[in-house]
Amino acid sequence: MEKFQAGMVLAGVGDALGYRKGRWESCPSGPQIQEELASLGGLGALKLDPDNWPLSDGALMHMTTAEALITGEDRTHPQSLTGQHVCHQPTAGLDVWSCQELPGAARGEERRGWRERKREERRDERERLVVSRMRGSSGDRESLRAVRVESETCTESLVARRDRRHYWCLEDLYRELVRVYVEAMASLQGRPPDPATVEGCAHLKPNNFLLAWHTPFNEKGSGYGAATKAMCVGMKYWQPERLDNLVEVSIETGRMTHNHPTGFLGSLTTALFASYAVQGKPLVTWGRDLMKVIPKAEEYCKKTIRHMAEYQEKWFYFEAKWQFYLEERELEQEAQNKPLFPDTYNAEETDKVYRRWSSEGRAGRRGHDAPMIAYDALLASGSDWTQLCRRAMFHGGESSATGLIAGCLYGLLFGLSQVPEGLHQDVDRRTRLEELGAELYRAASAERSTEK
């Protein structure tokens, strides 16, 4: 549990350091940032507090995602007739039962029949709602036919996935994410939000039961915002046997605000890396293993995205960037376990390298290179927190984004023991960050015991 808490806390620390109330996040020069740091007495002399070192919008969205991931663990309906708790989430006027434990008396054929009846009830409820909403519209018949096709397709999919008892929980999770993301846009307390996140949230429909989280492809959705909010997904679904869940949830979480492969593959990457950190996988294997998981992500998207063609070219870009990176560090082959770094890798050189990996000269701005910079910083630094900060938090790019990702992964790997107390003792929202880490740990443990 301690490392889960450290992951959440150091995500906040990394974000606050890279952000510095917007001053360092907007600075294009890593050497200048490190000079200013030295004038403040160095990293060890800093005392982070909410007034002078607030969290950025990226850290708040990561916390918001974590809140949604754990909400389902506590949302219970009054006890059923069998004395068991069941989760209940009324949405858009419907009494829709999701995430529920089957009644204790239902077994075998009885259980399957119960599921089928409930499934039919849900479909009938949805169609009645759609009909009532569509009356008077000029496109009634065509639209209703399309909805019925969607409903039948959904039902067929459910029958095929009958034994995936988490399926309904994931639907409810997505609706909860939609709700909290839309609410978050109104409560960022003056922090300038990521434009792609704002645009993505404008397309979310918390009151639409069927289409709550379905957003259109967004040519501008390639930013880092999806990547910086998804480490907690990897913490929730960290077990190797939960990889399918991790892939699905991280992609859908990313697509809600960044419906572009460079964006939502960034969220897959950070979630996957967080799961590897919890598993204790060697750092040098993470990039290679990411490349092995991307085909699984593509397969999932082909099944769930209607017009996949417009995503294909952008998809290739993400893969190509990561392949080039692994080749540059000489880590693309299974036998290569020692990353190659330049002989001189100071702040000036780091800025040059990071800009080369970027799409437009602003390091860490996109979903491919924000996780890449954080990962590279971990490879170069190991357990050395000071070195990690120099490479991930104090550079001339989107330093709050890369610092947030790197801080979280460092905490999951190494904990708090090597981090100066002044950096985390009073960091903005410290108490809630710790609580979220503990609750994510319990949620992940509960999922594991349930699977057994």
Residue 298 has pLDDT above 80, yes or no: yes
- 4-19 pLDDT, tens digit each: 999 999 999 999 999 9
Q: Which residues contact 192 (CB under 8 A, 6 or more apart)?
A: 22, 57
Name the pLDDT band for 138 (thresholds 50, 70, 90).
very low
Tell me the backbone φ, ψ of residue 425, rounded to 5 degrees. -60, -45
Fold of 2-75+170-451: ADP-ribosylglycohydrolase fold (1.10.4080)
Kindly report the three-state secondary structure assignment for every residue of 172-195: HHHHHHHHHHHHHHCCCCCCCCCH
**Domain limits, CATH 1.10.4080.10, in the chain:** 2-75+170-451
pLDDT of the residue at 312 = 85
Taking phi first (over 0 means left), then psi (-120 to 50 degrees means alpha), and beta for anything else, what does residue 366 get? beta
Closest CA to 89 of 187, 185, 168: 168
| Rounded CA separation 124/344 (Å) | 66
Closest CA to 253 of 310, 297, 189: 297
Residue bearing tokens 């357990």? 383
Mean pLDDT along residues 146-155: 37
Taking phi first (over 0 means left), then psi (-120 to 50 degrees means alpha), and beta for anything else, what does residue 340 get? beta
pLDDT of the residue at 116 = 54
Mean pLDDT along residues 436-450: 83
Q: Any idea what DSSP says for residue 86?
A: B
Residue 131 has pLDDT above 70, yes or no: no
The residue ranking higher by pLDDT, 329 or 219, is 329
| Rounded CA separation 446/449 (Å) | 5
pLDDT of the residue at 93 = 33
| Rounded CA separation 187/50 (Å) | 16
Residues 47 and 392 sit within 8 Å (Cβ to Cβ): no
| Rounded CA separation 311/292 (Å) | 19
Name the pLDDT band for 193 (thresholds 50, 70, 90).
confident
The residue ranking higher by pLDDT, 209 or 329, is 329
Closest CA to 7 of 379, 446, 439, 445: 439
Q: For the whole model, what pTM was predicted?
A: 0.79
| Rounded CA separation 268/280 (Å) | 18
Mean pLDDT along residues 35-44: 97
* Among the ranges given (139-153, 176-190, 266-280, 395-409), the one the predictor scored with the smallest mean pLDDT: 139-153
| Rounded CA separation 216/220 (Å) | 11
Residue 118 has pLDDT above 70, yes or no: no
Longest Cα pair distance anywhere in the chain, in angstroms? 72
- 63-97 pLDDT, tens digit each: 999 999 998 654 433 332 223 333 333 333 333 22
Tell me the backbone φ, ψ of residue 394, rounded to 5 degrees. -120, 65
Average pLDDT, the chain: 82
Q: Helices 369-381 and 309-328 sit at what angle, rounded to 10 degrees? A: 20
pLDDT of the residue at 214 = 80
pLDDT of the residue at 72 = 66
Name the pLDDT band for 371 (thresholds 50, 70, 90).
very high
pLDDT of the residue at 169 = 65
10 Å Cβ neighbour count for 97?
17
Q: Any idea what DSSP says for residue 125?
A: H
- 242-263 pLDDT, tens digit each: 999 999 999 999 999 999 999 9
Residues 364 and 398 sit within 8 Å (Cβ to Cβ): yes
Name the pLDDT band for 121 (thresholds 50, 70, 90).
low
Residue 396 has pLDDT above 70, yes or no: yes
pLDDT of the residue at 39 = 97
Taking phi first (over 0 means left), then psi (-120 to 50 degrees means alpha), and beta for anything else, what does residue 193 get? beta
- 320-335 pLDDT, tens digit each: 999 999 999 999 999 9
Residues 408 and 274 sit within 8 Å (Cβ to Cβ): yes
Residue 154 has pLDDT above 60, yes or no: no
Helices (H), 186-260: 195-202, 231-236, 243-257
End-to-end CA distance of the chain: 20
The residue ranking higher by pLDDT, 344 or 59, is 59
**Positive or negative CA dihedral for 272, 226, 190, 374?**
positive
Residue 379 has pLDDT above 70, yes or no: yes
Buried b (16+ CB within 10 A) or exposed e, 250-270: bbbbbbbbbbbbbbbbbbbbb
| Rounded CA separation 393/25 (Å) | 9
